[in-house]
Structure 1
Amino acid sequence: MQRTLLILIFFCSWSITQTFSQSNPIEITYTRDETKKEYTFQYKNPNYCDYSVKVEFTSLQGGSCSCVLPYLSAVSAGNGSLFTIKPSQANQGISFQFGYKTLKGRLLNKPPKPFIYLFPFSKKEAHRANQTQNIVEMLSGKKVTNFYGMSFQMQKGDTVFAARRGVVSEIKNEFATHSEEVWFSTNTNFVEIFHQDGTFGRYNRFKMGTIMVKPGQSVEAGQPLGIVADDTFEGNTLAQFTVYYLDKAKAFTEAHSFSYLVPTFYTTTHPAGVVLQQGAFYTSDFPESIVTQEMSKRELKKWKGAKQ
């Protein structure tokens, strides 16, 4: 049988950048204080995660900035102030020209501290895990650095669970099941979750119409996200998972600005976390100590009360 090759987003190190399309881009504006002759720059972030902005002035005369230029910082969801341009002398006019760029994510100087994740599948049975290979490597045979992704063998109808708490930053829930002739496809439904430490967790391959969460929704570790897609890749039903962050060393200078993490997962035999071994089978568990590890005392009390 002839099989069709379409590039699957999850496997492509460069293609994660494509998923960060700014359908709701950051807006940067300024207001003028007529008394002080100052200009205050503000941002509007209508998204559900941090974005990073770079503001550059091609011309600035008669004034100085309250910050180091070019301005480079992360902004949270919502509205806020960035910096102020003040006149160099009292009552002096200011003239300027500027431009800005934005990237999805919080600028991180280095990888976050290690974290123990839950497996994104149920406790019913053991699941086989594999490290996914970058599609560029598969086609060219050349090693691609800075990529790490995982796949978990599932059964049709299985639920995919959140491996960590966070806020749903983006979903795709519009692609139907592929035919058996399709090997890889860019048309994959996914859930992306923004974590407290600035990383993203991305879960690929949901069945259309089964995603149980919405953008902006807070989710807890172990919470159901949706049902795995029915279609198979090379005879297997798979759920896929990556963890990545916006790397400050690459941001605004390289085409692909994100770095990937190698997560550790909780198991009953390795409560301190284990890195997946290729082809090994793992059994999931959702212990309270891991589910609640990022909760405040107040959140923990509320969570326990809701369970009673």
Structure 2
Amino acid sequence: MKQMLWILCLLSLWPIEHAFSQINPVEITYTNNADKKEYTFQYQNNTYIDYAVKLNFSNLQGGTCTCSLPYVGSVSTGKGSLFTLKPSQDNQGISFRFSYKYQKGRLLNKPPKPYIYLFPFSKIQAHRANQTQNILELIAGKKVTDFYGMSFQMKKGDTVFAARRGIVSEIKNEFDTHAEGVWFSSNTNFVEIFHQDGTFGKYNRFKKGTILVKEGQQVEAGEPIGVVADDTFEGNMLVQFTVYYLDRAKAFIDTGHSFTYVIPTFYSTTTPAGVVLQQGAFYTSDFPESIVTQEMTKRELKKWKEAKQ
């Protein structure tokens, strides 16, 4: 029964790509400069966070690109230019066909710099932490070498707090508490937050209707984001937390997983310089101003302090 409940808990720790369904997250168009016979490609990012795009040309004739092809790059929210196709010879026309793909996240060439996170639980009492396994390891016996996930024991009605500042990139808030004895389900509620350095933090297993933030909202470190689900694992409620980023070396490879996981360092009252979780250990949380505000500009810090007065 122990392994069955872990499967229920861990499935939604796998990051979901192409999560927006009603509108394309990213749209690629181009404009024609008839005088120069050039084509400039632009993007429209309709989301709140960075996305990666890949453009392929299947039949480019008479022209060259101001970039390397296929084009692979990150695009921020809103509109912008990507590159220009220019004629290979003066007064020569260009013909082409193109297609594109997109993936959620900012392409990173290497892991981000170390960062000290807050624990996602209150400072009222100590909480037990455990490292979790990937769902593919439990079901198919496939080892995911870089997977790293955490779970923290909670109590019914406990609030989950943001471990780091960021923009809410995705929310799932529609699934009810699972019936007793359910051993496998992908239907769990979560909050995903996009961080300043291009990483994501995903908080999994919220009670339906208790999520306190919305997509596109900026959340500060230590801010409450929801209430843990009532489902139990050996008598304990759990909140799960993973940190990951879109790895340039893995992006747009259909047969693989595009995200690389980060092993976070947490602020602890006993280890202010940061601690990496130990299996089964208990930790006490705190939200010191120096950690909460570490990514704020001077103007943001001043505004934040004024709001607290």
Q: Which category describes the TM-score, using the shorter chain as reference length? A: over 0.9
Tell me, what secondary structure is at the counterpart of 2:49?
Answer: coil
Matched, 1:56 2:56: yes
Matched, 1:21 2:19: yes
Tell me, what secondary structure is at the counterpart of 1:202?
Answer: strand
Deviations 1:61-111, CA, capped at 9 Å, x for gaps:
111111111111000111111111111223221101111111111111110
Cα displacement (A) at 1:39: 0.6
Contact 1:183/1:234, CA 8 A, preserved across alignment: no
Tell me, what secondary structure is at the counterpart of 2:301?
Answer: helix
Tell me, what secondary structure is at the counterpart of 1:59?
Answer: coil
Q: Which amino acid aligns with 1:229?
A: A
Work out the CA distance in 2 between the residues paired with 1:194 and 1:286: 20
Contact 1:115/1:263, CA 8 A, preserved across alignment: yes
What are the ranges of 5 or more consecutive residues in structure 2 without an aligned counterpart? Answer: none
Cα displacement (A) at 1:113: 0.4
**Residue number in structure 2 paired with 1:275:** 276
Identity of aligned residues (%): 74
CA distance 1:4–1:240, change in 2 (3 Å): closer
What are the ranges of 5 or more consecutive residues in structure 1 without an aligned counterpart? Answer: none
**Residue number in structure 2 paired with 1:244:** 244
Cα displacement (A) at 1:4: 7.5
**Residue number in structure 1 paired with 2:230:** 230
**Residue number in structure 2 paired with 1:44:** 44
TM-score between the two structures when normalised by the length of structure 1? 0.94
**Residue number in structure 1 paired with 2:259:** 258
Q: Which amino acid aligns with 1:200?
A: F
Tell me, what secondary structure is at the counterpart of 2:136?
Answer: helix
Q: Which amino acid aligns with 1:190?
A: F
Work out the CA distance in 1 between the residues paired with 2:106 and 2:93: 35
Matched, 1:136 2:136: yes
Work out the CA distance in 1 between the residues paired with 2:279 and 2:5: 24
Q: How many residues align?
A: 305
Matched, 1:219 2:219: yes
Tell me, what secondary structure is at the counterpart of 2:32?
Answer: strand
Work out the CA distance in 2 between the residues paired with 1:101 and 1:19: 11
Cα displacement (A) at 1:9: 7.3
**Residue number in structure 2 paired with 1:149:** 149
Q: Which amino acid aligns with 1:244?
A: Y
Tell me, what secondary structure is at the counterpart of 1:138?
Answer: helix
Tell me, what secondary structure is at the counterpart of 1:182?
Answer: coil
Work out the CA distance in 1 between the residues paired with 2:43 and 2:82: 7
Work out the CA distance in 1 between the residues paired with 2:82 and 2:128: 47
Work out the CA distance in 2 between the residues paired with 1:5 and 1:285: 30
Cα displacement (A) at 1:11: 4.2
Tell me, what secondary structure is at the counterpart of 1:74?
Answer: strand
Q: Which amino acid aligns with 1:293?
A: Q
Cα displacement (A) at 1:140: 4.6
Contact 1:6/1:182, CA 8 A, preserved across alignment: no
Cα displacement (A) at 1:237: 0.4
Work out the CA distance in 2 between the residues paired with 1:141 and 1:101: 30
Tell me, what secondary structure is at the counterpart of 2:270?
Answer: coil
C-alpha RMSD of matched pairs (Å):
1.9
Work out the CA distance in 1 between the residues paired with 2:54 and 2:158: 42
TM-score between the two structures when normalised by the length of structure 2? 0.94
